[in-house]
Chains A and B, each alone.
Chain A
């Protein structure tokens, strides 16, 4: 399968987010791919937009089955979430469960005025009613396969497709 150019998708993502920007907009990336993207988007969109990251390990719905992820990164939201227009950024939208966890965590920091979901790729396969407003590309990935965003030494993004085991 031909995988799209992640850098190109990031450009289109930035173009789509740009008109949504208003006073009190903030970018929040979900660890780890979404956090990398949010950081790059901040630079592309003009640098002074507040930036945060979420690690949703404490909000996962499969904790009782698989336990705590061995490498939890601290979430970092250093702006006032109360009243902010948050653009939530993730790399790949699949079942929607990660986004559910991220929304719950985000609201524990305060009540945002709005939340917009921006993803690089929507691969289908939703298990809960979550949709992204901003989508780089829609791809049809088989269940069992996983699409991963990777970053090379120069900071450039590319996709890796892991075949079903």
Chain B
């Protein structure tokens, strides 16, 4: 099968989704990120790898944090960075996307980081660009957010190096989450034996079991003896619909509190992709507690994005 992410000889050319990436490439990204983690702690937080390259962040959907971490990552690789916030409201989106991209190509951009509210937008751009240009998906609709998935896995590996012996629980709005999908693919590929999904029925995609996960509706039951708890963000706009009764009700059933956390293994770690809704999906005392690795996730996110960018830039499609 022709994988649009890989060059003819199987090297990573675009990063569009974790699905379909071989374990060797995932490990290469994570191992390279280990080296970049050290760069950010030095006197000069920069390496010359992407000197002379231009990275364009095209954000059709707003996301300050993701954009900022990609910007910092590109700058620490010595690339020149341009960030565009393109409104989603413009008509005839297909045309607008390619026009935007073509203009940036005419300015000799070398790499695109793309965020879009529609699934498949990054794939669409990757099919369009000439061979020397690389595309990174920074989140597309409900589909995928591969660098977030990678940084979560990187964080887990840092704290729990023996991935073959882990129980991981993912809690919250699986239905609208592109992060969860990327996480599940990454964890499965890296050999995590047990992944649990904890969510109300209304926030679960159909046939989620086919991803090889165990589904729980009772959070207390699902958290028993887990090593890693990955909380998902509950988007406020979901509250108004028929999916959930209220934020308070959600917090009572699916919010992570100290007493629910106590059901997990004592050394379990807590992750959250941010931005957090304190008091909705996670209690402040847990978010700021000793088992939380939420801020390290942000730090590692830069190293992981540096790794992805430098691996892509070194693999032109001849």
A residues bordering B, Cβ < 8 Å? 55, 57-59, 63-64, 66-68, 70-76, 81-82, 104-105, 107-110
| B30-70 vs A, Cβ < 8 Å mask (1 yes, 0 no) | 01101111110011101111000000000000000000000
Contacts A58-B35, A68-B49, A108-B46 supplied; 12 other A-B pairs, CB < 8 Å: A58-B310, A63-B314, A66-B314, A67-B11, A67-B313, A68-B32, A68-B311, A71-B31, A72-B32, A108-B42, A108-B43, A108-B47
Q: Within the assembled complex, what's the spacing in Å between the Cα atoms of A15 and B84?
A: 59
Of all chain B residues, the one with the shortest Cβ separation from A56 is B47
Q: Within the assembled complex, what's the spacing in Å between the Cα atoms of A34 and B73?
A: 29
In the complex, which residues of chain A have a beta carbon less than 8 angstroms from the beta carbon of B310? 58, 68
B47 contacts A59, C-beta separation under 8 Å? yes
B35 contacts A55, C-beta separation under 8 Å? yes
A59 contacts B35, C-beta separation under 8 Å? no
In the complex, which residues of chain B have a beta carbon less than 8 angstroms from the beta carbon of A68? 32, 49, 310-311, 314
B100 at the interface (CB under 8 A from A): no
A67 contacts B314, C-beta separation under 8 Å? yes
In the complex, which residues of chain A have a beta carbon less than 8 angstroms from the beta carbon of B28? 70
- Output the least CB separation between B57 and chain A (Å): 21
B119 at the interface (CB under 8 A from A): no
Provide a sorted-by-A list of 11 A–B residue pairs whose CB atoms are within 8 angstroms.
Answer: A55-B35, A59-B47, A63-B49, A63-B313, A63-B314, A66-B314, A70-B28, A72-B31, A73-B35, A105-B47, A108-B47
Of all chain A residues, the one with the shortest Cβ separation from B50 is A63
Quick one: which of B135-180 are within 8 Å of A by CB? none
In the A-B complex, the 3 residue pairs with the closest CB atoms: A67-B314, A108-B44, A58-B47
A74 contacts B35, C-beta separation under 8 Å? yes
Q: Within the assembled complex, what's the spacing in Å between the Cα atoms of A71 and B311?
A: 11
Q: Within the assembled complex, what's the spacing in Å between the Cα atoms of A131 and B35?
A: 28
A58 contacts B311, C-beta separation under 8 Å? no
In the complex, which residues of chain A have a beta carbon less than 8 angstroms from the beta carbon of B117? none
- Output the least CB separation between B29 and chain A (Å): 10
A104 contacts B38, C-beta separation under 8 Å? no
B315 at the interface (CB under 8 A from A): yes
Q: Within the assembled complex, what's the spacing in Å between the Cα atoms of A71 and B32?
A: 7
- Output the least CB separation between A137 and chain B (Å): 32
Q: Within the assembled complex, what's the spacing in Å between the Cα atoms of A104 and B39?
A: 13
Q: Within the assembled complex, what's the spacing in Å between the Cα atoms of A128 and B23?
A: 39
Q: Within the assembled complex, what's the spacing in Å between the Cα atoms of A108 and B48?
A: 11
In the complex, which residues of chain A have a beta carbon less than 8 angstroms from the beta carbon of B314? 63-64, 66-68
B44 contacts A109, C-beta separation under 8 Å? yes
In the complex, which residues of chain A have a beta carbon less than 8 angstroms from the beta carbon of B35? 55, 57-58, 72-75
| B7-39 vs A, Cβ < 8 Å mask (1 yes, 0 no) | 000010000000000000000100110111111
Contact for A74 among B11, B38, B311, CB less than 8 A: B38
Of all chain B residues, the one with the shortest Cβ separation from A82 is B43
Of all chain A residues, the one with the shortest Cβ separation from B24 is A70
In the complex, which residues of chain A have a beta carbon less than 8 angstroms from the beta carbon of B36? 58
Contact for B315 among A67, A71, A108, CB less than 8 A: A67
B43 contacts A109, C-beta separation under 8 Å? yes
Of all chain A residues, the one with the shortest Cβ separation from B311 is A68
Contact for B49 among A58, A70, A75, A107, CB less than 8 A: A58
Contact for B42 among A55, A67, A109, CB less than 8 A: A109
Q: Within the assembled complex, what's the spacing in Å between the Cα atoms of A67 and B50?
A: 11
Q: Within the assembled complex, what's the spacing in Å between the Cα atoms of A57 and B316?
A: 18
- Output the least CB separation between A100 and chain B (Å): 11
Q: Within the assembled complex, what's the spacing in Å between the Cα atoms of A74 and B37?
A: 8
- Output the least CB separation between A98 and chain B (Å): 15
Quick one: which of B294-314 are within 8 Å of A by CB? 310-311, 313-314
- Output the least CB separation between B318 and chain A (Å): 11
- Output the least CB separation between A62 and chain B (Å): 10
B43 contacts A110, C-beta separation under 8 Å? yes
- Output the least CB separation between B199 and chain A (Å): 37
- Output the least CB separation between A12 and chain B (Å): 33
Of all chain B residues, the one with the shortest Cβ separation from A104 is B48
Q: Contacts A63-B314, A67-B315: A58 and B11 contacting too (C-beta < 8 A)?
A: no
Q: A73, A74, A105 — which one has the most chain B CB atoms within 10 A of its CB?
A: A74
B38 contacts A75, C-beta separation under 8 Å? yes
Of all chain A residues, the one with the shortest Cβ separation from B11 is A67
- Output the least CB separation between B46 and chain A (Å): 7
In the complex, which residues of chain B have a beta carbon less than 8 angstroms from the beta carbon of A81? 43
